[in-house]
């Protein structure tokens, strides 16, 4: 059970890290269930790639503008600079991107971008395509059905992890541990995330005194089809608005221009708040009108959206699509340095959505997340290979805390409702304090470890939201005294 590197998560960040680790290293990737049960696989948007060095400066500025100037400039610069090498690498390795009839790469534009610089693969199936591509190039061991339930940390070193398999718990040890476990979607009643995303590892970081930062910065995707019985809602990609789809209310009005001169192409936090107000405060139904596309174009460019909506008897684009916001992405996370190391640790890394790298600031620019996973996965791999740490052999005892108890599932649903209604798109001091009380009461109950971990992260989100007195980016407060 001794490895050179253990990677927690098999989404784009974890797979990118594995891709750039030498094949002679003993590397183990862990994923809770199947590798495609991750946010990467469900990503409908594309991948941002600046077109040239001139566009790099503009991409940096667009990212910082969308992030409400709360970004780490050096992290954003690193993201944009490294994108050129990454793009060449995946193209040279056979990754297929959408092209026109002359073979030129098709670039799309989404909200917050000054120009078209987003590539797609298979229309709205870019996440599935890049995930499949990375899995097909994986040269290390992947362990499915392995849920991490503890981090084995002493002082500034991580020695390994405790894993729950179908039959038992066991410890896996390594010289380097990489967290690539995704965000916090499972905390919300309405979200677009894979069902495996539940913030467990964030809480394990907190248990060991590590910092979570910007946890109040939660992005809600403006356009999700929420009239479905599942917690994970059908995402309606922003690329549709880039193609000219309009957002209207019951009266047929394009109300977004009342909130921002960019209308449908304003950054996500602005669009999500506008739709939320229109639907939940003014009582108007809200729709995405994609009639600018004919059916043939729609199916060719957005095959996954078309199939998903067809399953709910929505015949797009001839029918208007009922939409509402849903939780989508966490800008905050485990605080890291530019090289991927968790702040204060010698051999523990965090990459992708679970990390607070500083790239996204207070609001993520559309299609920057897949790029972040590719870039910072590679950076973490390079740091590991330039940081030849060898942990002394240790044997940790495995905690006997019960993972799940009767009643936990019901309380998880209560937590999701609290987080959606009181810590969602529009917040107030009253709603946040009420949410905090509810979370603290649940934490006092006879509950299992995994629910306790969720409650720890929920409390951290609420506390950080209360501590930020003024609205900023995705953190929007409706009263001045919050």
- Counting residues of the chain whose pLDDT is more than 90, the rounded percentage is 84
**pLDDT at residue 226 is higher than 80:** no
Q: Cβ contacts of residue 155 below 8 Å, gap of 6+?
A: none
Q: Tokens for 263?
A: 């209308």
| pLDDT of residue 420 exceeding 70 | yes
Measure the CA–CA gap between 83 and 174, rounded to whole angstroms: 30
Instruction: From 239, 248, 233, select the one nearest 312 (Cα to Cα).
Output: 233
pLDDT tens figures, 161-207? 999 998 899 999 999 999 999 999 999 998 999 999 999 999 999 99
In order of their start, the domains of the chain are 1-217+331-400 (3.50.50.60), 223-326 (3.90.700.10), 408-467 (1.20.58.100)
Could you give the CA distance from residue 440 to residue 77 in angstroms, rounded to a whole number? 40
Residue among 239, 232, 236 at smallest CA distance from 222: 236
Contacts of residue 105, Cβ cutoff 8 Å, sequence gap at least 6: 97, 98, 99, 119
Structure confidence at residue 480 (pLDDT): 45
Q: Other CB atoms closer than 10 Å to residue 316's CB: what's the count?
A: 25
Q: Which residues are catalytic?
A: 268
Three-state SS across 124-137?
CCHHHHHHHHHHHC
Q: Whole-angstrom Cα distance, residue 215 to residue 331? A: 7
Q: Looking at residue 268, what is its pLDDT?
A: 80
E strands in 265-364: 286-289, 321-322, 324-330, 333-335, 348-350, 355-356
* pLDDT exceeds cutoff 90 at 372: yes
CA distance 357 to 201: 16
* pLDDT tens digits for range 106-154: 999 888 899 999 999 998 889 999 999 999 999 999 999 999 999 999 9
Q: Would strands 157-164 and 212-213 be described as parallel, antiparallel, or unpaired?
A: unpaired
Band of residue 481 on the pLDDT scale cut at 50, 70, 90? very low
* Residue the block writes with tokens 């040269």: 139
Mean pLDDT of the chain: 94
Higher pLDDT: 470 or 44? It is 470
Q: What is the pLDDT of residue 281?
A: 86
Of 241-250, 352-361, 429-438, minimum mean pLDDT range: 241-250
Residue 16 to residues 141, 146, 178, 213, 256, Cα–Cα distance (Å): 14, 20, 12, 24, 37
Choose between 437 and 393: higher pLDDT: 437
Q: Are 466 and 432 in contact (CB under 8 A)?
A: yes
Instruction: Look at residue 482 and tell me whether its pLDDT is greater than 50.
Output: no
Helix axes 429-443, 449-467, angle to 10 degrees: 160
Predicted local distance difference test score (pLDDT) of residue 129: 96
**Number of residues that this document lists for the chain:** 482
| Alpha carbon distance 467, 481 (integer Å) | 11
Handedness of CA 93, 102, 302, 271 (dihedral sign): positive
Q: How far apart are CA 474 and CA 210, in angstroms?
A: 24
Mean pLDDT for the stretch of residues 92-99: 96
pLDDT at 269: 83
Buried b (16+ CB within 10 A) or exposed e, 362-379: bbbbbbbbbbbbbbbbbb
**What does the pLDDT look like over 263-316, one tens digit per residue?**
998 888 889 999 999 988 888 999 999 999 999 999 998 988 999 999 999 999
End-to-end CA distance of the chain: 49
């Amino acid at each position: 059970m001794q490895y050179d590197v253990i990677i927690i998560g098999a989404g784009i960040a974890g797979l990118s890290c594995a891709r750039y680790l030498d094949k002679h290293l003993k590397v183990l990737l862990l994923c809770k269930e199947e590798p495609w049960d991750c946010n990467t696989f469900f990503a409908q948007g594309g991948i941002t790639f600046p077109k040239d060095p001139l566009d790099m400066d503009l991409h940096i500025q667009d990212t910082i503008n969308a992030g409400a100037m709360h970004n780490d400039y050096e992290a954003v610069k690193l993201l944009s600079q490294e994108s050129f090498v990454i793009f060449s690498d995946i193209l040279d390795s056979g990754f297929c991107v959408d092209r026109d009839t002359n073979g030129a790469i098709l670039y799309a534009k989404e909200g917050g971008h000054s120009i078209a610089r987003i590539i797609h693969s298979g229309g709205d199936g870019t996440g599935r395509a890049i995930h499949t591509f990375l899995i097909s190039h994986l040269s290390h061991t992947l362990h499915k059905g392995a849920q991490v339930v503890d981090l084995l940390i002493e002082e500034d070193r991580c020695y390994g992890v405790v894993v729950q398999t179908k039959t038992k718990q066991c410890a896996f040890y390594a010289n380097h541990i990489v967290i690539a476990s995704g965000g916090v979607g499972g905390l919300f009643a309405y979200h677009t995330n894979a069902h495996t995303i539940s913030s467990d590892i964030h809480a394990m970081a907190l248990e060991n005194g590590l910092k979570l930062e910007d946890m109040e910065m939660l992005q809600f995707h403006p356009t999700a089809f929420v009239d479905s019985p599942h917690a994970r809602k059908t995402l309606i990609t922003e690329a549709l608005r880039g193609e000219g789809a309009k957002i209207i209310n019951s009266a047929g009005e394009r109300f977004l221009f009342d909130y921002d001169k960019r209308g449908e192409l304003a950054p996500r936090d602005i669009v999500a708040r506008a739709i939320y107000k229109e639907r939940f405060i003014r009582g108007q139904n809200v729709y995405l009108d994609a009639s600018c596309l004919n059916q043939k174009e729609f199916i060719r460019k957005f095959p996954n959206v078309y199939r998903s909506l067809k399953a709910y008897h929505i015949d797009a684009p001839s029918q208007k699509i009922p939409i509402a916001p849903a939780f989508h992405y966490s800008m905050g996370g485990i605080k890291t340095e530019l090289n991927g190391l968790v702040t204060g640790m010698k051999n523990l890394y965090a990459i992708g959505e679970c990390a607070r790298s500083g790239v996204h600031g207070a609001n993520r620019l559309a299609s920057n997340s897949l790029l972040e996973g590719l870039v910072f996965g590679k950076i973490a791999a390079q740091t590991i290979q330039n940081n030849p740490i060898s942990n002394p052999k240790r044997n940790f005892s495995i905690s006997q805390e019960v993972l799940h108890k009767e009643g936990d599932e019901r309380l998880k649903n209560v937590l999701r409702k609290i987080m959606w209604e009181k810590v969602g798109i529009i917040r107030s001091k009253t709603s946040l304090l009420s949410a905090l009380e509810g979370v603290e009461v649940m934490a006092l109950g006879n509950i299992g470890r995994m629910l306790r971990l969720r409650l720890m992260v929920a409390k951290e989100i609420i506390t950080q939201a209360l501590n930020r007195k003024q609205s900023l980016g995705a953190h929007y407060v409706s009263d001045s005294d919050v």
